[in-house]
Amino acid sequence: MTFCVPPLSGKDEVPRKQGVKSRLASLGQNLTREVNDMVKIDQVELGEFPLLLAPMEDVSDPPFRALCKVQGCDMMYTEFISVEGLIRDAHKSVQKLDIYEEERPIGIQIFGAEIDSMRRAAEIVEEAQPEVLDINYGCPVKKVVCKMAGAGILQDIDRMVKLTDAIVKSTNLPVTVKTRLGWDDKTMFIEEVAERLQDVGIKALSIHGRTRKQMYKGEADWTLIGKIKENPRIHIPIFGNGDIDSPQKAKLYRERYGVDGIMIGRASIGYPWIFREIKHYFATGEILPPPTVEERVAAARQHLNHSIEWKGLKLGVLEMRRHYTNYFRGFPHIKPYRKELVTVHDPAVLHNVLDQIQERYSMHEQTTLV
């Protein structure tokens, strides 16, 4: 690294050597502060205040992650992967290990309940060479919870700690965890959980501000997340998750709760632009205008093409259908077009519908799509 030291005035020429030394020391201190301010998961550098894409089943796949990365997402996670599927070489589970260089840094998230299966899955994940291995202790879905996986393990904190310890010891990857406040409002032991998981070696913790019983209902409460950040024992990054759907709210929660970064989930579905909007607001205090019709159509088109490339024609078309509503939310009289998008199987016809949407709504976006 080259340091450029400003020239000294004539009256400073006698102590010039001392002045240069002093200025270099000052520059070094500033650089140290910048480095110290950078959020890191172990040795993975994420910037001053990272925005993370939450792992979401049937959403955060490579086609969608590519869109989020372009819009400024700092770190992304795969869809959660069943460890039982991985160790049995199930196609759908193994395919979710696909990661690409342009996505980095990226974490692969796994879920399961049996220590031996989790260890074996961790070995498989390590071979895929992500930056991070993440454990899901937060999924509230019944079919996961009933096996004591996902948020189900919040009913047995000792087991959660034991399972995490085993995984940390079985892999060279940094291990992180995503979880919830607790099983219900009577068992919100997340402060204890944070300390104990840190003690067994996790390198970061992402917390959704709801209990399992709440599912996704009501408002996410970040109060306990903020308390964890205030705990002098906690030194790993703490990422908040839940209900961040605007730049203003991201800034408010950043300042109010002191988190190291924000993980964004549902608000990004069909709207990857949320990452750039938040970053722009942080930097300037200005609200960016919403994406144009042309941008929305281009994103939907790219998403469709990459979905077909990665999943094959049939599955690529089918699994893309969940996204169209969000890409074109708020468009007046969009229903006939949306109906075609979610019923047609031929990609050529789908692209034609997207062309029609762009042609019709581009003429009116200044007055109708604000």
| 189, two tokens | 């032991």
Sign of CA dihedral 193, 38, 278, 273: negative
The pair of three-digit structure tokens given for residue 349, joined into one six-digit string: 């016809």
For tokens 């399972």, the residue is 163
109 contacts 178 by C-beta, under 8 angstroms: yes
Of residues 4, 68, 73, 139, which has the active-site annotation? 139
Structure tokens at 240: 């908040």
Q: Let me know the angle formed at the C-alpha of 221 by 218 and 222, rounded to the nearest 5 degrees.
A: 155
DSSP letter for each residue of 288-323: PPPPPHHHHHHHHHHHHHHHHHHH-HHHHHHHHHHH
Looking up tokens 């899955």, which residue turns up?
Answer: 121
Q: Could you please report the per-residue DSSP string of 214-262?
A: TTT-S----HHHHHHHH-TT--S-EEEES---SHHHHHHHHHHH--SEE
d(CA 330, CA 341): 16
Q: What is the CA radius of gyration of the chain?
A: 23
Six token digits for residue 241 = 């998750």
Is 73 considered catalytic here? no
- How many CB atoms are closer than 10 A to CB 105? 16
Check the CA dihedral 313-316-318-320 and report its sign: negative
Q: Rounded CA gap, 200 and 33, in Å?
A: 28
Alpha helices, DSSP H only, in 71-114? 83-87, 91-95
Backbone angles phi, psi at 207, to 5 degrees: -125, 125
CA separation for the pair 207, 91 (Å, rounded)? 30
In a 3-state reduction of DSSP, which class is residue 110? Answer: strand
Q: Catalytic residue numbers? A: 139
